[in-house]
Structure 1
């Protein structure tokens, strides 16, 4: 049977009668004329779960704005703040508030008042959605009750007043009212943000990337653009020993090995045993301090320091091997172990014709004649670790989700979303990479990278093939769209005190992205409207305290990494940017450091600092003009064809 005929037969079977098809055409056309939903953009979360949760729950200030718009004409400032805090953290705030009441009568009156306010807020936040979509946003346990209360204005409420009162009284008497109000809060959170974009780097540095992944897996609508830190975790599960060692090294560096052991169930015992045998104290490998973490004991600190050294040295060895088997990567300058002079008590290295003393070295497992050769014990440790990574069910589930919802870049609603950069030469031309005789640049290069990641992930038993090696190139290669620098100076930072060797020169993209014409050229490269499209970037923290502006090229490019990660906040002077894009246009929110969930609940503190309008539309954008609208239009046209030829199928 012809595929086209088969398709229309299935479509007819799905919708049934002519009347049903007509109804669906009318429905699709109506939906396309609704205002577009609000998109919420976050990037560079780096394991900071509490701050991420607060931004998500608040919709980057969108919840606050909706409450104020809905209530400012009849509620006091105190009542508005109470309502906002309940929408953010319903369980905790309700528990605290209800303990302040002296008797049940006052408490019940407060519940009635609060339910009325929240139903009004749900009604207000759902105005641009169909009833069907609102129904999907409701907690199934309370959907009947919520809909009865939500649409009560459609009835003669005087005739049904006791009916509504009875509903609420019964919920209270059954002890379910707190749960009902919490369900209202989560419905409001869901309605104020229609779709979430994570523009890279969920993992590394912060302590709770696994909790962030769990939240995202339960989020109603989300996509992810992989960051450089994310791809090394993907690479570890895809079978790259080098990516795996890098993941462990960064966890050790930021005192987050418990993420691997306690949450993902990675067996680090072989690594503990090996590191105890060969490594000792070394200040260059002490874990970074975090004021939020409990002070480590000397024993714990020493153990992490030894592990840190062991994985770093194995990483440098494997990196050297990878560079030698991939001449197309042109990374020969990073064959640093070959450049080390292992002489007596003093080791030196020659870089760019200049000799440097090496300090805090830990080269006891290195064969000076074959410096990148792994010891048999190292091979065994790597093999056991990789098996543990690849057989962790929770880690596999999280990486599967990253692969399903993720991509290297995304074209969405006329905008280009990417974590790092599109590699450029200083004159603005696209920078190319030649692999196996084929030269690629721009969109074609990024598509090639993504194809390699997906191929490697499909073949986890292959550990040293070109696709798996390419994942490491994305972490550190000169033409990587995720790294965006000439070289990564990890070795120099550990062992050379001269800070001039630590410098990492950024790709020309980061200077040229202020240029309107360059941004328009890049939008065109990705088949976007250069006049109306935008590039939305993460990856590089904006140093706002030095006057740097996250809105670049007259608004054509927006950088939303201001630094969720606490490690960046001292340099940036801010705690991150997020972006909102609704039917009225784009708005950038900047955030102050999050002081903690308990402070937010107790004192009603928020972390929105300022908002800047990036672009305001002359007319509200409709669903018709979005990616979803294009699909709905295509579906409508198929139904029109089916309707005209109904008898034929």
Structure 2
């Protein structure tokens, strides 16, 4: 044993010397070992999983604030039958929206000082309960500097210490009488929300459809512990930020389709006037009837505004088809020639030839498409795209958000025995991993996903490499073997211009059939090096059709789908407003959310989102930090510290 220790210590001397700089004495190293060993025995932190937010910032912020019901369940547990239901409801809403609820209270409460006193005591109880599974050091780091000492004192109040009761009561009374109650409440509500969730997982698709993706990203950038698995709607915006004209056109088209051009114009400050001017000139007398917005309750545009948006919508869509055609032609390795459709249009007959059949077109007005060169941009279209590309490339806020997506994001994540990815692992009909040729090599399974991530990181950050390679961002958005798209084709042209429902159908990758089989899910997990018995795959991307009886739980619980329709545009398909997951020390909980109407209504009526809960797995023994990935890292740190102690005891390293 001693010889092994000596050999291990000798082989790790560079690492041990670095540790000695941080822990220069035996006492310092021993103290840290004791601290880390203690942390290993704390309960596992709560993980919160969300997917497919699609710009629905009000619903997202509410679900983030209430931690998918974690905070309300804590309130119910603490106060049980000791306070009334409306008091529990107000306390919860105060934690979610402290500024707005405090304004209401000041207008409604007759004895405000008494309300402050009662509520402060209740908030401290909630905060104490939520913080109880963390070390004092971790809690201290979460405390706002202005009230750090006071909150820490109150959180560690010992109710049995009669001699200190007046001391604690005195703190509360002083806070109230020096007019700091509101500021203190804001601070402690923030601490509760921060400590309720130890880590947030976003499994793709922050962008598109809803009006506030930029607001969501601003919120996420402030989160204390977050990871993001990119979705196809994220990657197309990342490609746009990298300067891909095809991706830029797609972001504008989708925004126009859902009436969310304000995200581009107001959220990011990108000037769409050149495009609008071009659209008004070339589609002036065209009603653009096939380019109506997808109706949502939010879209309250005037007739004139709607007409302009339709023209912008058609103009950028035609430009997009041209750009995509150019991209497909210069990338024969994408194997997407069947998506070259503009040259299949028969203007005289008003038809298009697709898959061996002629289909009548619903719109035959194409003033900018040259019959002999259908994929060539006109000089005016080139000018519009040049200006838009420069605007995207030089937009500080968009680039900041994109760098955040790169720094916190990835194609997939292995975390605490779960495999998180947005779309799919491409498969063939037999259930084998489907290969994609990149350069001179063929990749499948984990190798494919890893290779794609290396490529797109290089194409974004390596300026010299961008020009000829940003096309891969678009392929991930719409390519048949893209793990983020997961379908054989994106039938954009067909949806706009054809009536036949069959030709509009987008067939899913075989993964979506095989993911229902437990053995296939186990094979995927093993491909990514996850062999633990309680492992899961966690997906988003494809809405769960609850209305048709579909379950988000697949393959006997090995795979979980949490895209249940947070986006308003999907609710007619799903029937609910989203699934989320909570994974705490007691087990795994699936949360189904009913529709969230508006922030204003939630505050005015003090109405929380209605959610139902299903326990997927309940641990026989409560999970501890030592059972997690962080626990494994701490064990390695402890191992290194023990080697350092050995070096100190042997005199190999001297104390400072």
Superposed pair shares fold, TM > 0.5? yes
User: Is 1:182 paired with 2:186?
Assistant: yes
Matched residue pairs, number? Answer: 640
Could you tell me whether the CA contact under 8 Å between 1:253 and 1:286 is conserved in 2? yes
Change (3 A) 1:267 1:461: farther
How far apart in 1 are the matches of 2:430 and 2:455?
29
SS in 1 for 2:622: coil
SS in 1 for 2:590: strand
How far apart in 1 are the matches of 2:463 and 2:343?
30
Aligned partner of 2:577 in structure 1 is 575
Match among 279, 288, 292 for residue 286 of structure 1? 292
Aligned partner of 2:163 in structure 1 is 158
Can you list the C-alpha shifts for 1:571-629, whole angstroms capped at 9, x where unaligned?
11100000000111111000000022222223232223311111112211111121111
Aligned partner of 1:378 in structure 2 is 381
Aligned partner of 2:309 in structure 1 is 304
Match among 214, 221, 229 for residue 210 of structure 1? 214
Shift of 1:640: 1.0
Instruction: Tell me which stretches of 4 or more aligned residues in structure 1 moved more than 6 Å.
Output: none
Could you tell me whether the CA contact under 8 Å between 2:417 and 2:532 is conserved in 1? no
Match among 313, 327, 339 for residue 332 of structure 2? 327
Gap runs ≥5 in structure 2: 1-9
Aligned partner of 1:641 in structure 2 is 643
Alignment of 1:50-69 (within 5 A): 50-69=58-77
User: Is 1:260 paired with 2:264?
Assistant: yes
Can you list the C-alpha shifts for 1:294-327, whole angstroms capped at 9, x where unaligned?
x212221121111111111111111111111111
Can you list the C-alpha shifts for 1:84-106, whole angstroms capped at 9, x where unaligned?
2212222212221232233xxx3
Shift of 1:463: 5.1
How far apart in 2 are the matches of 1:278 and 1:596?
39
Aligned partner of 1:476 in structure 2 is 478
SS in 2 for 1:610: strand
How far apart in 1 are the matches of 2:178 and 2:57?
34
SS in 2 for 1:370: coil
SS in 2 for 1:153: coil
User: Is 1:29 paired with 2:37?
Assistant: yes
Aligned partner of 1:243 in structure 2 is 247
Aligned partner of 1:85 in structure 2 is 93
Shift of 1:368: 0.8
Greater shift after overlay, 569-578 or 106-115? Answer: 106-115
Could you tell me whether the CA contact under 8 Å between 2:460 and 2:466 is conserved in 1? no
Can you list the C-alpha shifts for 1:192-227, whole angstroms capped at 9, x where unaligned?
211000000000000011111011011111000000
Aligned partner of 1:439 in structure 2 is 442
User: Is 1:430 paired with 2:427?
Assistant: no
Could you tell me whether the CA contact under 8 Å between 2:243 and 2:389 is conserved in 1? yes
Gap runs ≥5 in structure 1: none
Match among 15, 19, 35 for residue 11 of structure 1? 19
Could you tell me whether the CA contact under 8 Å between 1:239 and 1:460 is conserved in 2? no
Change (3 A) 1:512 1:321: same
How far apart in 2 are the matches of 1:97 and 1:228?
44
SS in 1 for 2:443: strand
Aligned partner of 2:4 in structure 1 is none
Aligned partner of 2:6 in structure 1 is none
Greater shift after overlay, 479-488 or 79-88? Answer: 79-88
Could you tell me whether the CA contact under 8 Å between 2:47 and 2:584 is conserved in 1? yes
Can you list the C-alpha shifts for 1:420-449, whole angstroms capped at 9, x where unaligned?
011111221111112223111111111111
TM-score (norm 1): 0.96
Can you list the C-alpha shifts for 1:127-161, whole angstroms capped at 9, x where unaligned?
21100111122222211111122222178443551
Can you list the C-alpha shifts for 1:512-554, whole angstroms capped at 9, x where unaligned?
1111111111111110016321000000111111110001111
Shift of 1:17: 1.2
Aligned partner of 1:456 in structure 2 is 459
User: Is 1:627 paired with 2:633?
Assistant: no
Change (3 A) 1:192 1:587: same
Shift of 1:113: 1.1
Can you list the C-alpha shifts for 1:484-533, whole angstroms capped at 9, x where unaligned?
11101000111111121100001111111111111111111110016321
Match among 591, 594, 597 for residue 596 of structure 2? 594
Aligned partner of 2:367 in structure 1 is 364
SS in 1 for 2:108: coil
